[in-house]
Chain A
Amino acid sequence: MGGSNRARRWVVGVPTLWLVLLFLIPFLVVLKISFSVARLSIPPYAPLLVLRHGWPMLKVHLSSYAYLLTNPLYLRSYLYSLQVAAICTVLCLLIGYPMAYAIAHAGAWRNVLLMLIVLPFWTSFLLRVYAWIGLLQNNGLINHVLISLGLISHPLVMLQTDFSLYVGIVYSYLPFMILPLYSNLEKHDPALLEAASDLGARPFAAFLRITLPQSLPGIAAGSLLVFIPAVGEYVIPTLLGRTDQIMIGRVLSNEFFENRNWPLASAVAVVVLLMLVVPIVLLQRVERRELEAE
């Protein structure tokens, strides 16, 4: 669409300007505040630019970062968040891959099944996480069923454990794994598998050597779509997770709202972002390649 250049400039310019103002610049504000120190004032941090003898001077404090790195509480929280996100990503992949595969081979039922996968996504995320409290608590539905079947005599403690946290995250993020896997798997050429079978390959061997390698971009996209937001997850660990070990999203919110330590909360955010830069860049590369392949 050449021609009217003015219209083009508006179409590019307006959304770009919006995102620069409300997505990019906010991170710079966070970065700036992370180099300050907390103090009792409004706003509750020391200004970075101070006047000394009439000259503006930049006063950069690294104390928030030093505090983060030396206090094992924060380090443990970061590692725990990475571990939870990694485990949940693997679980989503193990559950989601066969599901996506089955949908891609479901013929006329494809669209209905896809809709069933997407539908929960349209109903409140918060309410669906809340539903698990009723299912997992000590006098909840699952314990009730297990006891009346005679499988256990005392209720299992499932709520506020790693188990309930994994269930909640896998449950909420599963569609994000299934959809990119499906859109990859449905493009595969069945002729390749037929050729492999004609040449005597067993179905499982054919799967390992043909389908699996071809679906790697889908696996990468799905895994990153689950892993990245799961690291900073706040709602699910608050409702379903352990009370003795909190994830980093909760640490950030506690530092900001409860301790009113804005520089420390900002430093926590900057470090999370630094950990996620590599996965985010990877994701953009995978998605760009997938789009261009179409």
Chain B
Amino acid sequence: MTRRGWFSGVMLVLGLIFLYVPIASMVVYSFNASRLVTVWDAAHSPTLKWYGVLFSDGQVLHAAWLSLRVALSASTISSVLGLMAGIALARFGPFRGRSLLLGMTTAPIVMPEVISGLSLLLLFIALERAVGWPHGMGMSTLILGHVSFCMAYVTVVIQSRLAGFDQSLEEAAMDLGARPVRVFWAITLPLILPAVVSGWLLSFTLSWDDLVISEFVAGPGSSTLPMVIFSKVRLGVSPDVNALATIMVSIVATGVVVAAVWMRRRQRRSERDAQLAAAANL
């Protein structure tokens, strides 16, 4: 190892510690009996007290249910739209309006959320005055607001996945007389299915997690889970939030491990198929 390699290795380890210490501290302190988050009450810990508090909090449960419904709808809509935009950008070559579409699918990723939130709310208010819809802010405006930035991420994922594949399979199918729509269902979609799945999961997480745009477009009466958490932690540290964080971290960790195993198996199978095909050609 050169000296440079040694330095960057140390930085990597320190950086990973930096990324994981806050998460680990929440998990550990969620089992702490003391109300003071950073004093470990050894006599009564570990305890599941804060999990009990969390699950008897009607406001939190209600908000979680709303967030779940919004995230499921927003991620599904944005996967379909992002899939379309990604295919158009990666496979259609130059077409009229390509720069517009490209610009509109990359800008939401970096756009400061207060600006997106404000502009969406003002649009909804103007629409309501002009055509009487949406009737007040709520679940529908939340979903519409989330789709715009979620689909940008899906588009990037799909586009870069398609850029990594050569088009020879699709072209071969077309040469054999398959119609483009059939080529899409039989070849393109199965090829990019992992990208669609990860785009959907990413959208779900982003929507589930969104605070700022939701604050603008939720309207009074419908609070998402991040909105409830935000109003809790603005008033100071509250230990049941640690319990909530621990539950979310464990769900994500399980999901990621399952997804990794699934992708790996898929990849192995396709490699084996490719080897068999190569052997058959010999």
Contact = CB atoms under 8 A, between A and B. Distances in A.
Interface of A: 1-4, 7-8, 10-12, 14-16, 18-20, 22-27, 29-30, 33, 43, 95-96, 98-99, 101-103, 105, 113, 115-117, 119-120, 122-128, 130-135, 137, 139-141, 144, 171, 174, 203-204, 207, 224-225, 228-229, 231-235, 238-239, 249, 252-253, 256, 262, 265-266, 269, 272-273, 276, 280, 283-284, 287-288, 291, 294
Contacts of A144: 38
Contacts of A125: 209, 211
Given A14-B84, A113-B12, A127-B245, A291 B237 contact: no
B189 interface: no
B66 interface: no
Contacts of B169: none
Contacts of A119: 252-253, 256
A279 B9 CA distance: 31
B229 to A, nearest CB: 6
A288 B89 CA distance: 11
Nearest to A251: B114
7 contacts: A22-B148, A26-B122, A122-B205, A122-B256, A134-B26, A140-B38, A234-B114
B19 A174 contact: yes
A33 B123 CA distance: 11
Given A15-B81, A256-B118, A23 B19 contact: no
B92 A22 contact: no
Contacts of A127: 26, 229, 241, 244-245, 248
Contacts of A105: 5, 8
Interface string B215-259: 100000000001001100110010001101100110011011000
B32 to A, nearest CB: 11
A203 B2 contact: yes
Nearest to B103: A284
A33 B114 CA distance: 16
The 9 nearest A-B residue pairs measured at CB: A232-B112, A26-B119, A131-B22, A98-B11, A102-B12, A15-B85, A102-B8, A98-B8, A19-B104
Contacts of A11: 84, 87-88, 92
A96 B151 CA distance: 27
Which of A134, A203, A252 has the most C-beta atoms of chain B within 10 angstroms of its own C-beta?
A: A134
Interface of B: 2-5, 7-9, 11-12, 15-16, 18-23, 25-26, 29, 36-39, 81-82, 84-85, 87-88, 91-92, 95, 97, 100-116, 118-120, 122-123, 125-126, 129, 144-145, 147-148, 151, 155, 159-160, 163-164, 170, 174, 179-181, 183, 205, 208-209, 211-212, 215, 226, 229-230, 233-234, 237, 241-242, 244-245, 248-249, 252-253, 255-256, 260
B149 to A, nearest CB: 9
B144 A265 contact: no
A254 B183 CA distance: 52
A57 B272 CA distance: 72
Main secondary structure of the interface of A (DSSP, over half): helix
Contacts of B97: 12, 16
Contact of B25 (A4, A131, A233, A284): A131
B23 A128 contact: yes
B114 A1 contact: no
B105 A19 contact: yes
Contacts of B4: 203-204, 207
A98 B8 CA distance: 5
Contacts of A27: 119
Given A14-B81, A99-B12, A171 B22 contact: yes
A225 B181 contact: no
Contact of A126 (B12, B25, B211): B211
B60 to A, nearest CB: 13
B107 A23 contact: yes
Given A3-B180, A238-B234, A203 B3 contact: yes
A273 B129 CA distance: 26
Contacts of A288: 102
Given A1-B91, A174-B15, 18 more contacts: A11-B92, A15-B88, A19-B148, A22-B144, A22-B147, A29-B122, A30-B122, A115-B256, A119-B252, A124-B245, A126-B226, A127-B229, A229-B111, A234-B112, A235-B212, A238-B234, A272-B112, A284-B106
Contact of B114 (A20, A134, A232): A232
